[in-house]
Structure 1
Amino acid sequence: MDRFIKVYFDLGLKHKEIVCILEERHGYNLSIRQLIRILHVHGFYRYKNSTDVMTVAEFIMHEQRFSGTMHVYRWMYYKLKCRGIRARKEEVRLLMRVLDPNSVDLR
């Protein structure tokens, strides 16, 4: 069960969604509070274990340099998430504003 919880948590699903999927697909009946306890026991936190800001900034600069397209912050957030880099959307938005203000203004 812990393996399923980690997979769904890493996908970014909300607690309620994880509980519903665990019940419907895997037959585990948990409350949201039980799920939160399990997550905390295993050290899974949404924002506590976020990646260093410099790592996020380097990834954003690399993507902007080599892709050649202007990304909106939501798309960049998704790319970060796919690479296993944890950052808040607001953090990504602010970094993109600092790193490439002209592109942000054009959008």
Structure 2
Amino acid sequence: MEANRLKRIHYYFRLGLTNNEMITALFELDNITLSKRHLKRLMGNEGLFRRKNHSDLLDVAMYMYNELGRSGKLHGYRWFHHKLRNNGYNIDRETVRNLLQLLDPEGEEFDNTVLQWNTHRISRSRLHPEPFGRPTMMYFAPRTYLTREFSNHVKLDELEVCREECRLKDDFPCSQEVFELYCVLMNEQNWLPPTSPQEAGSGSVSKGSYQKLAQGPLMTS
């Protein structure tokens, strides 16, 4: 129990959640109740500090340099900050931004990763009454923002009906009768089977061919 609680605290700390958000997440997602004072004491015992015990700057720079040689070049300092936190580095965002400017001065910022989006903070708007907060907390703990969950839960039997209706009944992509009609037409017109949806859509069908289809099943020898 204690090991699992500390594991979850470490996880939420790496996500960059505030103390209040961590307390809410522990209660809503893990059924763990902690006071703010108790949480701070546990974090202190585990060495989880946001403003001290920062990781060695050279280690952080080397990690970022290696990531820039891979997919990291496509991302910005916010993504790097989350990546570093998830890998156990304790560093502030401003330091990461300054390091990235030195290591990759021509890099562009793309906020397109799931983790970065889910854990970033949406600021409150004075002009528009839009949702604000961290998306991950807004989704899992909507009561924190005085609202409720709006997701629509679908019954398993309803999902099974959808799967059954979308599943091919046999080896034909359409009704067997229509499939046989098109096979006859392809033979008459010397058409080759298409190799892609685009090729199938661009094929021309003569007016006489449509008329034959409309007349009903064709007799074949």
For residues 57 and 85 of structure 2, the distance between their equivalents in structure 1, rounded to whole angstroms, comes to 14
Distance 1:44 1:68, change over 3 A: closer
Instruction: Report the number of matched residues.
Output: 105
For residues 36 and 26 of structure 2, the distance between their equivalents in structure 1, rounded to whole angstroms, comes to 11
- Give the unaligned 5+ runs of structure 2: 110-221
TM (normalized to structure 1)?
A: 0.75
Q: 2:90 corresponds to which residue?
A: 86
Q: 2:38 corresponds to which residue?
A: 34
**Which segment drifts farther, 49-58 or 70-79?**
70-79
- Give the unaligned 5+ runs of structure 1: none
Determine which structure has more spread, i.e. the larger CA radius of gyration.
Answer: 2
Deviation at 1:68, TM superposition (A): 7.5
For residues 72 and 25 of structure 2, the distance between their equivalents in structure 1, rounded to whole angstroms, comes to 38
Contact 2:23 2:35 in 1 (8 A): yes
Whether 1:24 aligns to 2:41 is: no
**What amino acid maps onto 1:19 in structure 2?**
I
Deviation at 1:76, TM superposition (A): 1.6
Give deviations 1:18-76, integer Å, cap 9, x for gaps: 11123334444332122112211332212322211111111121122233834311122
The root-mean-square deviation of aligned C-alpha atoms, in Å, is 2.4
Greater RCO (CA < 8 Å, at least 6 residues apart): 1
**What amino acid maps onto 1:56 in structure 2?**
V
For residues 82 and 68 of structure 1, the distance between their equivalents in structure 2, rounded to whole angstroms, comes to 14
